[in-house]
Amino acid sequence: MKLTELLEIESGGEMYSLPELPYSYDALEPHIDEETMIEHHSKHQAKYVDNLNKELADLPQMRKPLEEIFKDIQSYNTAVRNNAGGVWNHTFFWNLLSPNPTAPTSELKMDILRKWDTMEDFQSEFKDAGLKRFGSGWVWLVYNEKVGGLEIISTPNQDNPLMMDGMLPIIGCDLWEHAYYLKHKSNRGNWIDTFFEILNWDFANKWYNKVVK
């Protein structure tokens, strides 16, 4: 199952395009301020889209759905890696947030509790992994197909678990300062706590069922 299919957006083919946000720029206030959302979506993610199109402008045979690029990421240069990751990661991230956050439920919650004793323990390990990521990157809850279970990992830059063999992203939090600096300054811990306050668990569970179950 591809994210593009779940979200019914186009990816690859002629040109990549900037997906619309699933809510307005001010919808996540006061958790994420409108100015941060405008910069993050219409400047940062838009730049990743533009750069990816430029990189592959003369390589139509290399313009594929993003998930296919990630599976074959070693065949692409660093600019494609960074910008394709930037496009996919942010599209995933916007859908993981909601102005009407939902509580953890169903299969994903059960499987998290199978691995961690409590949701608090899970969130604590997730936050710790995010704090330990040096510089910019992402922290993820992933499903490791090789061992058949959930894990927490972090990746540098715009890398994501789809670039790794057997890893499926389930939840991801953007650790770049552009995601939180205006409101949280350098306090990444506050930002990760805020992320959980507006996490759309319904989407995460739906995605989990699509890609893992």
In the complex, which residues of this chain contact Fe ion (CB under 5 A)?
A: 174, 176, 179
Measured from the Cβ of residue 129, the count of other Cβ atoms closer than 10 Å reads 19
Considering the complex, state which of residue 162 and residue 179 has its C-beta at the smaller distance from Fe ion. 179
**Rounded-to-integer distance, Cα 186 and Cα 10, Å:** 35
CB-nearest residue to Fe ion = 174
- Chain position carrying tokens 């002629």: 14
Nearer to Fe ion, 55 or 174 (CB): 174
Question: What's the min distance (Å) between Cβ of 37 and Fe ion?
Answer: 11
Q: Residue 86 or residue 104: which is nearer to Fe ion going by CB?
A: 86
Minimum distance of Fe ion from residue 148's CB (angstroms)? 30
d(C-alpha 35, C-alpha 40), whole Å = 8
For Fe ion, which is the closer residue by CB, 41 or 150?
41
Compute the least distance from the CB of residue 177 to Fe ion, in Å: 9
Rounded distance between C-alpha atoms, residue 123 and residue 109, angstroms? 12
Q: Would you say 130 and 154 are in contact if contact means Cβ atoms under 8 Å apart?
A: yes
State the minimum distance, in angstroms, from the CB of residue 134 to Fe ion: 17
Q: What's the CA gap between 111 and 7, in Å, rounded?
A: 24
